[in-house]
Each structure stands twice: as C-alpha cells, then as structure tokens.
Amino acid sequence: MFESGLWESDREFFHFCYLVTDGHKDRDPKLHAMRDAGGAMWLGGEMNRHGYVFAGPIFNHAADPNGPRRPRMDKKRLRNRLRRGKVVLVTTRPALSDRKFGDRKQIRRSYTLLERIIFRKVVRPWLTECARSQILLTDRAAAVSPEVKKRQTIIFRQHGDPKIQACGAIEDTVKWEQPEDGSTVAFLLYLEELWNGGPAVVVAWAQDGPTTMVWCRKLATEFRHLLFSSPFVMAELRPGPPAPRAESIDFADAWETRILGVAKHAA
C-alpha cells in the first residue's frame, strides 16, 4: 500500500488507543496504560513493512458516562494531521453498544469527532450492535458468506473467556447454534480513505484483550495478506490449552483460526 507522490516521511501510522483505569472511576488514567497495546505492536510491525513509521498514539479519554458531551476538536488541525498517506490503527473493540446493554465489562467511549467518524464510516456499515455480551452484524456483512450469515447475531459468555454462547441468523432463531468447542470470533475492518484526502483506517479486534492480541499476531504472520485488502474480514478462533503465566505468546500457535468471510474491496 504505497501511495505514489508521497515522501517517505509522509507515510505514518497512529495508534488510536483507549486508556485503562486502575479501578478508580473518578481518577484520571495514566497515559502509558493503553488498551490492547500488544495487538498494536504486532500490527505495527506490519505497518513498518508497508512503509509506515509510528507517529505516536491518539489518546481517547473516556467521556462522562452520565451524559457524554461531544468534546470540541479542531477540524482543521485534525485534517492537517491526518491526511492522505497516514494510517489510523485501532486495536480495541468498537464500543458501539456498551452503554445500551450495560454489560459488566465496558469500554468507555470518548465521543470525539474522530471516534464518531470512524464508527460511522468504518464500523457501522458492518456492525449494527457491538458490546462485550453480543454482536449484531448488518445485512451487508451477513451477505459476505454463508458462514458469516450463520453468525449474524452472536451472544458471548461474559465471565471468563469470550466464548460464543449462542449464534445464528436473525430470521432463524429456532436453529441457533450453541457451540461447545470454546470458539469465539475476531474482525478486521479497513477503509482506504476516511474522508477526501484523509487517512486510511485499520480496525482489528476480538472480544477481549488476550484474544485481540492473538488475532493481531495471526494477522501479522499467517494472514498478513488480508491487511489493506478487504473492508470486512471475520474469523473464528478456537483457543488452545490454557497458558497461565506464559512467558511468550507462542501458545497462540495452538489456536485454530478459520476465516469465515472476506468482503470484496468494492463492497
């Protein structure tokens, strides 16, 4: 993904990151405590391979949960900073519906202009709902493949690993499956231009941090051909044996990964 007419210094990527609190909701999080940094490190290597250098994080500070106001953002400065030749990398589950469903494990949105544009233009064409407990894919996403269609609605276990509790097509709830193999799902979204003359956006995630890290590792090794190639990719992951206190991520080699659907670029 090299753009002609760009100087090498113009090719940069930013990590669009959310911050982890230390359990004190009223305390400001530390800037070094970034969610899903492990996944960003794996995909950062691939960004380098495509000619992009790391330009730093874009911090998403949580908005007031009692009534989030849209933070002010200088649109001109945003467009000057994020222009053609840049990539915005997101490695955290998009919190489209966390407040709506009120799950125990929530990601607090920032409601910044950039977050809202990414959700509207990159995520919502493919997902109607996205929370820790459940995902609802759009009809457009369900049409990508029969395997995706069978998982248009997914309910996840909220305690422990995000295993699929039940899944099925919207119009066929009687035949919903209840997998017992411990499988879960992961996604990769891509938009070449967020606005006219703007940056590309890559969003890669699973339903929790460890699974997201494994998925990003697999994207950087086994499935690197999928990066920058499709607006929507859905995969099924089946975790291997538990690896408590692992000293490396080599345990991910035992995770079975199956690509369920890849949308055509023109979709």
Domain coordinates in residue numbering, the chain: 8-262
pLDDT exceeds cutoff 60 at 263: yes
Tokens representing residue 54 in the block: 């790391």
Residues 6+ apart with CB under 8 A from 39: 91, 204, 205, 212, 213, 215, 216, 217
Q: What pLDDT is recorded for position 2?
A: 39
Residues 6+ apart with CB under 8 A from 102: none
Q: How far is CA 94 from the centre of its chain?
A: 6
Query: Which ranges of the chain does DSSP label H, i.e. alpha helix?
Result: 37-49, 75-81, 98-101, 113-118, 139-142, 146-149, 209-221
- Please give the angle made by the CA atoms of 110, 234 and 207, to the nearest 5 degrees: 45
Stretch 161-174: mean pLDDT, rounded?
A: 83
Mean confidence (pLDDT) of the chain: 88
Stretch 254-259: mean pLDDT, rounded?
A: 95
Residues 6+ apart with CB under 8 A from 235: 185, 186, 187, 188, 215, 223, 257, 258, 259, 260
pLDDT (tens digit per residue) in 78-107: 888 899 999 999 999 999 999 899 888 888
